[in-house]
Chains A and B, each alone.
Chain A
Amino acid sequence: MIENRPGLNLLAHATLILGVCIVALPVWVAFVASTHGATDFMSGTIPMWPGPHLVENYSKMLGAGVSTSGTPPVGTMMFNSLIMALSIAIGKIAISVLSAFAVVYFRFPFRGLAFWCIFITLMLPVEVRIVPTFQVVADLGLLNSYAGLSVPLIASATATFLFRQVFLTIPDELTEAARIDGAGPMKFFRDILLPLSRTNIAALFVILFIYGWNQYLWPLLITTSSDYYTIVAGIKRMADAVDGLPQWHLVMATAMLAMLPPVAVVIGMQRLFVKGLVETEK
């Protein structure tokens, strides 16, 4: 800061506090709603302060769920979401780190073509070509399976590009020293390249975990058996079902639980999260 202007500082703090409140408002309202009983919503407006039914609502959702909505217990859906998010994050990192290694450290015929095949998928979200992708997965018999939930979302150019950037900054001399030290390509990959990319991998993992957890349309389409519902997709089914009989307290408890893991990851690993976010967009 250049000059000391208490007035401006005050204004900045006021702006920020207002900003933080607006950002937090929907979550606060949801949290409050999730601590009340069903009857508290009949009065007309949502209460502003938490009620006494927190433990009751949450344990009900986690353990049993709402049977009328056709969704399984939230615990099951969270487990499915976890499997999906982990598979996508780990799968993406694994295939991209390998392909980036191939593209950067080898010269082979059709290298350019291979690179372009990966490149054109850079900004092609699944939503855009949803119908044919669904048909492919259906033809492969992957509907209602963890593989169907995760594998089609694993390939993306972003992670490959990130690792390519990382590898390009690793000095040539290190590779040469390793070659003289008797390390072949895979040994070099395991002993030098992977350890040197550790923080990038961790940062990317945070971003991809959130990406995987928050998938909506894909799990909605390819899961018809409630055993494979993920929580983000399941919420919608629940909210639809409660249109007739409003159980907002339970829907909001589910929403809170759906937010909890990714938000905890962002707050707990803020440094890695920011690094991952900035790097994947470079």
Chain B
Amino acid sequence: MASITLDNLGKIYSGGTRAVGGVNIDIKDGEFIVLVGPSGCGKSTLLRMVAGLESISEGEVRIGDRVVNNVEPADRDIAMVFQNYALYPHMSVRQNLAYGLKNRKTPKDEIEKRVAQASEILQIESFLDRRPAALSGGQRQRVAMGRAIVREPAAFLFDEPLSNLDAKLRVAMRLEIKELQKRLRTTSLYVTHDQLEAMTLADRLVVLNGGQVEQIGTPLEVYRTPASAFVASFIGSPAMNLISSSAVAHLPGTAHAGQIGIRPEDLTVTPDGPILMNVLAVEELGAQRLVHGKTGGERLTITLPSDALLSDSLNLSYRPEALHLFHKDTGKRIA
């Protein structure tokens, strides 16, 4: 187990396009870090640079105290779980798990021991002798995890490992990954585009956009004090309401603000609320309902308990401290 340090890391492709730039992340030993962002934000590139599958154009990657920029993937002491699992189709589950150990000249009885342990942890003992093609998606996912575990690496790297599963299985596997990581305490770097997955799994989140780090923090920090308008809109579902500041120019401290944000749950219905919203549509979620509407030219979404009374227009109020102000030029948070 080890810490991982990304020091001013950057990637420029041979054509000159910059995929990632100036990324600094300190991952502590045993920490679970999730890289999250929209597609094309450079999160997978970053992960692959740590894995050694992508060359490093700028900066350094350190695993433990060792600079690994020019170290082969196999010698970085990491294990990786791929989006499509990348199980060797012509090998049995057992051979899949053992392949990496065999290549490292691990003694036979040690391989057997570790395969047995890993398959017990992941409950895949019953199909150790099957080929991947004979397994369901969830089972393949477990085998892919098993292949990472047997190696007992310094770090796990996950590249969107749940995105090929159906919604229900995804939620279940998410929890399993979390529990497993807590149990093994292996440093983990996890890439996803799903903000909910990121929130639920991470010790700390790294929100990426356009190859730059927008914010690093615990899920709650990121949720409560998003560092930029982008983070505010990306993290949280339903997304934060972002209103152009001209609509609320009367508020104090909004001089430099370009956008003002407020979370749907921070808007409450009160008879004398200052905002009058015309209701356009209602989505029932069971425990609560989402009400979408318009005020002035701006769209708003609020969450209400499912037994709340509805009408064509609602008066809304908010606490001033629930407002998030973002700078009109940089989009950064104004404290």
Contact = CB atoms under 8 A, between A and B. Distances in A.
Interface of A: 171, 173-174, 176-183, 187, 191-192, 195-196, 198
B79 A180 contact: yes
A176 B53 CA distance: 7
Interface stretch (B99-107, B189-197, B257-265, B277-285): B99-107
Contacts of B100: 180-182
Contacts of B87: 177
A195 B103 CA distance: 17
Interface in B51-75: 51-53, 72-75
A89 B25 CA distance: 55
Interface string B10-37: 0000000000000000000000000000
Given A179-B53, A180-B73, A173 B90 contact: no
A187 B75 CA distance: 16
Contact of A191 (B73, B84, B99): B99
B90 A181 contact: no
A173 B74 contact: no
A105 to B, nearest CB: 14
Contact of B88 (A174, A179, A180, A187): A174
A175 to B, nearest CB: 9
Nearest to A181: B100
A186 to B, nearest CB: 12
Interface in B213-228: none
Contacts of B99: 178, 181, 183, 191
18 contacts: A173-B84, A173-B85, A174-B86, A176-B73, A176-B80, A177-B82, A177-B86, A178-B99, A179-B72, A179-B73, A180-B51, A180-B78, A181-B103, A181-B147, A182-B75, A182-B100, A196-B90, A198-B90
Nearest to A180: B73
A195 B86 CA distance: 15
Interface in B75-116: 75, 78-80, 82-90, 99-100, 103-104
Given A173-B82, A173-B83, A187-B103, A180 B74 contact: yes
A176 B74 CA distance: 10
Interface residues of B, number: 24
Contacts of A192: 88, 90
A195 B90 contact: yes
A182 B53 contact: no
A196 to B, nearest CB: 6
A180 B99 CA distance: 10
A177 B103 contact: no
Contacts of A182: 74-75, 100, 103-104
Interface of B: 51-53, 72-75, 78-80, 82-90, 99-100, 103-104, 147
Contacts of B80: 176-177, 180
A181 B148 CA distance: 9
A145 B99 CA distance: 44
Contacts of A181: 74, 99-100, 103, 147
B103 A171 contact: no
Nearest to A170: B89
A224 to B, nearest CB: 47
A171 B87 CA distance: 10
A253 to B, nearest CB: 45
A192 B84 CA distance: 17
Contacts of A187: 103
The 10 closest A-B pairs by CB, nearest first: A181-B100, A173-B86, A182-B103, A182-B74, A177-B86, A195-B90, A173-B82, A180-B73, A179-B73, A174-B86
A137 B86 CA distance: 47
> In this complex, which of A171, A176, A179 has the most chain B Cβ atoms within 10 angstroms of its Cβ?
A176
Contacts of A183: 74, 99, 103
Contacts of B78: 180
Given A177-B86, A177-B87, A180-B80, 12 more contacts: A173-B84, A173-B85, A174-B86, A179-B74, A180-B51, A180-B74, A180-B78, A180-B79, A181-B100, A182-B75, A182-B103, A183-B74
Contacts of A178: 88, 99
Contacts of B84: 171, 173
Contacts of B74: 179-183
A196 B88 CA distance: 9
B242 to A, nearest CB: 37
Nearest to B76: A180
A187 B100 CA distance: 12
Contacts of B75: 182
A192 B88 CA distance: 7
B15 to A, nearest CB: 14
A61 B286 CA distance: 88
Nearest to B75: A182
B82 A176 contact: yes
Nearest to A196: B90
Nearest to B90: A195
A180 B50 CA distance: 12
B51 to A, nearest CB: 7
